[in-house]
Amino acid sequence: VGLVPEVKTAGEITVDLGQPGQSGWKAYVVRFAFGGAVTASAGLIAQVYGPVVGGLFLAFPAILPASITLIESHDGGRAAGAGALGAAIGSLGLMAFGALVWGLGLHLSAWQVLAGSALIWLVVSALLWGMFEWARRSRQQAQRNGPNPG
Amino acid sequence: MIGELAVRFLLGGLVVCVFAAIGDALKPKSLAGIFGAAPSVALVTLALVFAKEDGAYAALEGRSMVAGAVALLAYSLVVSRVLLRRTGQSPINALVMGSLAWIVWLVVAFSLWGLFLR
């Protein structure tokens, strides 16, 4: 496995609006509980230990175990691995989110900081995912074409 | 205090579920996985911080969040590598690996805190 791991994913992006219902309410109850608990804990930790320690927990992988478990049960183990890899890409977007709050928190209004940070997370994550997919497809194409004779 | 924690719990749980629903609806799963690292906890926490504290407090949390996101990157890479490489007989499933790897997140996050933020 090189820089771009071999992940077999469906090539086309699809949105299945029936999928959330198929996940079952139990999965959402678990995510609600974990998400709520981590958000409350992050606030509590910030109050007790200050914002420097509390801020670390703004990027805690609270619901990832539940999310990849759900992917594993629906789409198999390799899809769960691909989901975790997607989270790695999303974490780079989360770094951009934090950096924007850090840099602009003092200078802009609350809604400008939050909207801008959410947008930068989405743009960075989507761009990096697109680059990752392009690299993966290029490698697959090269493998299909085989070694260059001569 | 209890009331504020309850508000955090409810809002945090709600926003996490919204991002999770978007992720569930998307394929391929590498794209859906991005929403596993959505800024759900951060959005709720920072909105409440801005309502109660000043921008300097939020900026400090943002700086630490960068370190937390580096730890999340390490966590996600470890989890994906193990899940993509395991064999059919492996007893490690996604839930076990995803939970065990919280240790990776804690070690990386607090190492960065000790080195650069303290």
Among A51-65, A69-83, B63-77, which stretch is predicted with the lowest mean pLDDT? Answer: A69-83
ipTM confidence: 0.94
From residue B77, give the alpha-carbon distance in Å to each of A143, B117, B118.
24, 24, 26
SS (H, E, C) A79-145: HHHHHHHHHHHHHHHHHHHHHHHHHHCCCCCHHHHHHHHHHHHHHHHHHHHHHHHHHHHHHHHHHHH
* pLDDT score of A136 more than 60: yes
Does position A146 have pLDDT exceeding 90, yes or no?
no
Distances (CA, A) of B67 to A53, A59, A99, B14, B60: 10, 8, 10, 25, 11
Residue B31 has a pLDDT of: 87
Instruction: Give the mean pLDDT of B16-40.
Output: 88
Phi/psi for B6 (5° steps) reads: -65, -40
pLDDT higher than threshold 90 for residue A23: no
Query: Which among A64, A75, A113 has the least Cβ separation from residue B58?
Result: A113
SS3 B92: coil
Name the range with the highest mean pLDDT among B29-33, B35-39, B76-80. Answer: B76-80
Residues 44-83 in B contacting A (C-alpha not used; CB under 8 Å): 44-51, 55-73, 75-77, 79-83
Collapsing DSSP to helix, strand or coil, A14 comes out as: strand
Q: What mean pLDDT comes out for the span A43-71?
A: 93
Contacts of A53 in chain B (CB under 8 A): 64, 113
Residue A58: predicted pLDDT:
96
Quickly count: other Cβ atoms within 10 Å of residue A60's Cβ.
Answer: 24
Beta-carbon contacts of residue A117 (< 8 Å; ≥ 6 apart): A97, A98, A100, A101, B39, B42, B46, B62
Split at pLDDT 50, 70, 90, the class of A14 is confident
Predicted model pTM: 0.90
Give the model's pLDDT for residue A1.
Answer: 39
Which of A39, A48, A106, A114 to mutate: most B Cβ within 10 Å? Answer: A39
Testing the interface with B: which of A3, A44, A64, A107 to mutate, by most B Cβ within 10 A? A64
Contacts of A133 in chain B (CB under 8 A): 30
User: How far apart, in whole angstroms, are the C-alpha atoms of residue A82 and residue B29?
Assistant: 6
The residue that leads in pLDDT, B108 or B21, is: B108
